[in-house]
Amino acid sequence: MQNSQQNAPLLNAVDLKKYYPVKQGMFSKPKEVKAVDGVSFTLERGKTLAIVGESGCGKSTLGRMLTMIERPTEGELFYNGQNFLVNDSETEKLRRKKIQIVFQNPYASLNPRKKVGSILEEPLLINTDLTASQRKAKVLEMMGKVGLKPEFYDRYPHMFSGGQRQRIAIARGLMLDPDIVVADEPVSALDVSVRAQVLNLMMDLQQDFGLSYVFISHDLSVVEHIADEVMVMYLGRCVEQGETKQIFNNPQHPYTQALLSATPRLNSTQRRERIKLTGELPSPLNPPKGCAFHARCHKATERCSQERPTLKSYPDGTKIACFMVE
Ligand SMILES: Nc1ncnc2c1ncn2[C@@H]1O[C@H](COP(=O)(O)OP(=O)(O)O)[C@@H](O)[C@H]1O
Ligand SMILES: [Mg+2]
């Protein structure tokens, strides 16, 4: 690629922001919801970055910006060092192929009037010059890869369980050979009994295709085995980011500690003191002064209610935004 840089990460997000204007009343001035307020990360080929945090903290908004379903209000996005936010047809084409999204709800994301075969064929029809028989061959091959029987080709989505529908949605996401898949709570709507199957499938596919994942989840327990790195978000910002092991074994930010203490773990050797997270996520329409987490924090001091801690990098590679850690 002409503009790409040799050592650039596969995906590089720089200070992404998404502000939504909202009207509250007829006469009041429109305000802004800062859904995502300055998020940065890099993602390497074949790796998984998990984005975790409570509902409403901006995870899906971030996912929509990465896949360009929505343009960021501010910030930059680079793919292989190439500016991904440029509005020309070449870049647009590249975006459509290289980065795909899988949504939480496989009941809503599949067109009920189309058969599985044509759902999977559609991206090829729109974006490639393959012939009908080549498309069908590719669809059947992908169905095999995600564990769907060939006879499902002519069936409708409603004939399938949630887990199988999510396999269809994942297969659709992979039809154009993307490098990056943004998976927005891909197992949250599924029965606990099939979650592990879908997660294992995703890990197998990652190996097979050399995929990178941005894996969004409100539930930390889901990401421990799939993620290389974890970013914890609170009210539109990153509060802690680091290697998965580090985050699970030695969480530093009081919010990460609280989230983790509420997360059941299978093979944990350590007993964790349970930290109760009281109160609710504040509204991004009226973010609190100081650290957004201070009102719910068991370690907060006067300073935390006045001043906002910035995200600082530490020698072990983690990034944390907390005065108590500094
Ligand atoms: N289109 C929109 N217009 C206004 N506010 C929005 C819009 N989309 C999301 N929000 C707000 O942005 C915040 C983050 O939402 P979202 O990204 O869906 O969080 P999450 O996926 O972590 O639950 C929420 O407060 C939500 O209400
Ligand atoms: Mg969401």
Condensed to tens digits (0 to 9), the pLDDT of residues 193-216 reads 899 999 999 999 999 999 999 999
- Round the CA-based radius of gyration of the chain to a whole number and report it: 21
Residues near ligand 1 (Cβ within 6 A): 20, 22, 33, 35, 55-61, 284
> With 80 as the cut, is the pLDDT of residue 147 above it?
yes
Q: Please say whether the beta carbons of 52 and 62 come within 8 A.
A: no
244: phi then psi, degrees, rounded to nearest 5: -55, -45
Query: Quick one: average pLDDT of 31-58?
Result: 96
**Rounded-to-integer distance, Cα 313 and Cα 296, Å:** 24
Please give the single-letter amino acid code of residue 176.
L
- Ligand 1 centroid – CA 56 distance (Å): 6
Q: For residue 1, what pLDDT is reported?
A: 45
**Rounded-to-integer distance, Cα 309 and Cα 286, Å:** 18
Two tokens, residue 289:
């002064």
Q: Which atom of ligand 1 is nearest to the CA of 236?
A: 14
Query: Quick one: average pLDDT of 89-108?
Result: 91
The alpha carbon of residue 282 and the mean position of all alpha carbons in its chain are separated, in whole angstroms, by 22
Using CA positions, which residue lies closest to atom 24 of ligand 1?
Answer: 56
Q: List Cβ neighbours of 304 (8 Å cut-off, separation of 6 or more).
A: 290, 291, 294, 297, 323, 324
Q: Give the pTM.
A: 0.94
> With 80 as the cut, is the pLDDT of residue 89 above it?
yes
Closest listed residue to residue 211, CA positions, set 90, 101, 51: 101
Q: For residue 273, what pLDDT is reported?
A: 67
Q: For residue 2, what pLDDT is reported?
A: 45
Instruction: Specify which residues 43 forms β-bridges with.
Output: 11
Query: Helix, strand or coil for residue 233?
Result: strand
Q: For residue 267, what pLDDT is reported?
A: 55
- Which ligand sits nearest to residue 186's alpha carbon? 2
For 10-14, 51-55, 191-195, 305-309, which range has the lowest pLDDT when averaged over its residues?
Answer: 191-195
Query: Quick one: average pLDDT of 74-91?
Result: 95
b/e string for 3-19 if b means 16 or more Cβ within 10 A? eeeeeebbbbbeebbbb
Two tokens, residue 198:
């879908």
- Which ligand sits nearest to residue 20's alpha carbon? 1
Q: Please say whether the beta carbons of 111 and 172 come within 8 A.
A: no
> With 90 as the cut, is the pLDDT of residue 148 above it?
yes
- Ligand 2 centroid – CA 280 distance (Å): 16
Using CA positions, which residue lies closest to atom 5 of ligand 1?
Answer: 20
Q: Are strands 180-184 and 99-102 parallel, antiparallel or unpaired?
A: parallel
> With 50 as the cut, is the pLDDT of residue 170 above it?
yes
Q: What is the mean pLDDT of the chain?
A: 93
- Ligand 1 centroid – CA 109 distance (Å): 19
pLDDT-derived band at 81 (thresholds 50, 70, 90) equals: very high
Q: Are strands 319-320 and 312-313 parallel, antiparallel or unpaired?
A: antiparallel
pLDDT-derived band at 266 (thresholds 50, 70, 90) equals: low
For 24-28, 120-124, 175-179, which range has the lowest pLDDT when averaged over its residues?
Answer: 24-28
Query: Quick one: average pLDDT of 71-97?
Result: 94
Query: Quick one: average pLDDT of 151-167?
Result: 95
Query: Helix, strand or coil for residue 95?
Result: helix
For 128-132, 221-225, 269-273, 296-300, which range has the lowest pLDDT when averaged over its residues?
Answer: 269-273
151: phi then psi, degrees, rounded to nearest 5: -70, -10
Percentage with pLDDT > 90 across the chain: 82
> With 50 as the cut, is the pLDDT of residue 6 above it?
yes
Two tokens, residue 29:
């001035």
Q: Please say whether the beta carbons of 216 and 183 come within 8 A.
A: yes
> With 90 as the cut, is the pLDDT of residue 50 above it?
yes
Helix (H) / strand (E) element for 251: namely none
Q: Please say whether the beta carbons of 153 and 185 come within 8 A.
A: no
- Which ligand sits nearest to residue 51's alpha carbon? 1
Q: Are strands 31-43 and 11-22 parallel, antiparallel or unpaired?
A: antiparallel
